[in-house]
Structure 1
Amino acid sequence: MSLDLPLPEPSAVPADARAPLSFIVLSNFFPAARRAVRYAAELAAPLGAQLVLLHVREATVLEGELLPDSPEREGDLLMAVQTLADEVYVPTSVELVGDLQLPTARALARQYAPALFVLGRAADEDDEHEVGPAVLEVLRSGQFPLLLVPETYPAAAPIDRVLLAADGDAFNLDQPAAALRLLGELRPSLTVATVSLIDDDLNCAAALRHAKANGLTEVARHTTLQAVRHAYPWEGLLQTIDATRADLLVLVARRHSFLDAMFHRSVTNRLLRTSPVPVLVLPALD
């Protein structure tokens, strides 16, 4: 005899069955990139996240002539990048790409979702080989969350204190899943900071409201609001990093202003070049 019993409802997917968070680290063999790899590994280990070492192949020129790719050269490069992967103790894969145009970056972000791009900032600002065309392409797109790691940053992950730079203007984060997942698993304390020459409580309240609307306060252990009086926003924020002992600075990059001012004398540019702690750049819609 058989009984026609209703099937049980499928159980919810356990949290640890989700796709792991991925850190796509732009990798080469220079010190800043190696520091970024180590930092990403330190961050990934307690979170069960994975690393993807992304190396952009560069054309080799000898006596003015372009050397063609060959299986031998490709194999040598893959072996060399694999040595970087072997130095860390978290699940790590290697991707070699010929360029990092937007379609390639988007494909990688989809393949390893949820994912953040990670790159190192050279100690020498004039060290151009550390910020090549591939990095600039990703930065200028304003479409991906980016974690920028100073070569000289001495501390190890995890992150416990986060400083969010806010200006009181409304923003809507663009595809924030990876960044919110990272902050949610870290559960840091969050300081929302505004910088102004005058006392502006309404601006502070608006900054907190917009942070909350985008889910940034929900992933924090607790949240505080801090107003800073200073003539120069970037200097005021640098002082606040020190005062709050922040481990991470979070910047919201509205795409239009990010594209226009990222590589000029903007607040974002100054902080990316001078922040003593890693910087998480979150793209926002205009």
Structure 2
Amino acid sequence: MKTILVPTDFSPAAENAAKYAVELARYTKSGVKLLNAIKVPTETHMAAQVTWPLEGYPTLKRDADQELKILANRLLFRNEERKDTVFQPQISYSCLAGNVADTVKRVAKDHDINLVVMGLWDTSKINRFLAGSTSHEMIEKAELPLLLIPPHAKFKPIKTIAFATDFSMGDINIICSLATLARAFNAEILLLHVFQEDDQHSVSDFLSTVTNQANYPNIYYRGIVAGDIDTGLNLLLEQRELEMFVMIHRRHNLLDRLFNHSHVQRMARYSSLPLLIFPAVNKAIVL
């Protein structure tokens, strides 16, 4: 069975993301696995001061396991209160030593993980786990689709998924992946594109290929001519009510990472919509 992985630090934003993941799993017929990452610093001496010793790890792990059990039971109880006949996902949990991105990678390798769902930090309450640097590291290192949930976003059955595309052939695999998610809700996939100049020929070729490969009827297209991509995307997003926004994160070289934020990272910081980020991959991923 497919499994949705939910990193958590037990903060309100992280629990909100876990609730969203459980609701999503009900429709996609997936399991949910909670993960807490305990960062264990190396023991180094600095000016007569020693960092937290490794001997404290068992205590931290015991406390984290207890918190994970409480959270899992709370999510299960909330799910069991529902009287409908929609699929009831199983909820498991684990606690590992390491940073968030690395522990996610390890768990994904050992389990059938198809999606990572993570709380997006609240700019008014920056906390240890959901700080911007952590979400940016997850975006940069992600090998699986990463769904970022804003602090106050609540789950709604998905009617429209918007995907920002540049018409590259690699985007076809992402659209095929999105079709597996959209089918669970019978949702529309809305393809968005910002032109620097009008080019209907590339639109026609791309949409023809999408139709042939995605095998999903509810795919539509909207485009806008604008000089600035971020402004154009914001204009397009304001014109439709959406439940999810999708982008691809393509890794930059070192200089780009040092001096520029990508469009994805800017959207992650300010988006009020759940933001689904795909790594640039050469195959479709079943969601």
2:54 counterpart of 1:73: no
**Structure 2 partner of 1:15:** none
1:237 partner SS: helix
Distance in 2 between the 1:285 and 1:184 partners? 21
**Cα offset, 1:166, TM superposition:** 0.7
| 1:251 to partner: Cα distance | 0.9
2:131 paired with 1:131 = yes
Q: Does 1:218 align with 2:193?
A: no
Q: Select 2:22's aligned residue among 14, 27, 41.
A: 41
Gaps of 5+ in 2: 44-48, 80-88, 283-287
1:144 aligns with 2:140: no
d(CA) in 2 for partners of 1:278, 1:240: 16
Task: Give per-residue Cα distances to partners, 1:43-71, cap 9 Å, x unaligned.
Answer: 1123322111111013489x753142354
Which of 1 and 2 has greater Rg? 1
Following TM superposition, by how much is the alpha carbon of 1:40 offset from its aligned partner in structure 2, in angstroms? 0.8
Task: Spell out the pairing of 1:24-35 with structure 2 (5 A cutoff).
Answer: 24-35=5-16
Contact kept? 1:26, 1:135, Cα under 8 Å? no
Report if aligned partners of 2:37, 2:100 keep a CA contact under 8 Å in 1: no
Q: Give the count of matched residue pairs.
A: 262
Return closer, same or farther for 1:255/1:100 CA change in 2, 3 Å cut-off.
same
Matching residue of 1:10: none
Q: Kindly report structure 1 stretches of 4+ aligned residues shifted beyond 6 Å.
A: 173-178
Within 5 Å, which residues of 2 pair with 1:185-196?
A: 185-196=184-195
AA matched with 2:62: G
After superposition, residues 96-245 of structure 1 pair within 5 angstroms as: 96-100=95-99, 104-124=103-123, 127=126, 129=128, 130-131=130-131, 135-153=135-153, 155-171=154-170, 181-209=180-208, 211-212=210-211, 215=213, 217-219=214-216, 221-245=217-241
Q: Indicate if the aligned counterparts of 2:139 and 2:249 stay in contact, CA closer than 8 A.
A: no
CA contact (8 A) 1:43 1:157 kept: no
Stretch deviating more after TM superposition (187-196 or 172-181)? 172-181
Structure 2 vs 1, CA of residues 24 and 174 (structure 1 numbering), >3 Å: closer, same or farther? farther
CA deviation string 1:138-188 (max 9, x = no partner): 3222421111111122x4232110111011223167799976543332331
Q: In 2 relative to 1, CA 257–50 (structure 1 residues): closer, same or farther, beyond 3 Å?
A: farther
1:281 to 263, 277, 282: 277
Q: CA, structure 1 residues 113+180, in 2 after alignment: closer, same or farther (shift >3 Å)?
A: farther
Query: Is this contact kept in 1: 2:120–2:135, CA < 8 A?
Result: no
Question: What is the RMSD computed on CA atoms of the aligned residues?
Answer: 3.4
Change (3 A) 1:119 1:102: closer
Aligned to 1:22: 3
2:273 maps to amino acid: V
Which amino acid counterpart does residue 66 of structure 1 have in structure 2?
W
Partner letter of residue 3 of structure 2?
A: S
For the residues of structure 1 that align with 2:183 and 2:124, how far apart are their CA atoms?
32
Is contact 2:5-2:113 (8 Å) kept?
Answer: no
Residues 38 and 95, structure 2, Cα contact 8 Å, conserved in 1: yes
Identity of aligned residues (%): 21
CA offset at residue 113 of structure 1?
1.7
Cα pair distance change 1:74/1:269, threshold 3 Å = closer
What is the CA distance between 1:253 and its match in structure 2?
Answer: 2.5
The answer to whether the Cα contact below 8 Å between 1:190 and 1:223 also exists between their aligned partners in 2 is: yes
Structure 2 residue matching 1:41: 3-state secondary structure:
helix
2:254 and 2:166 map into 1 onto residues whose CA distance is 15
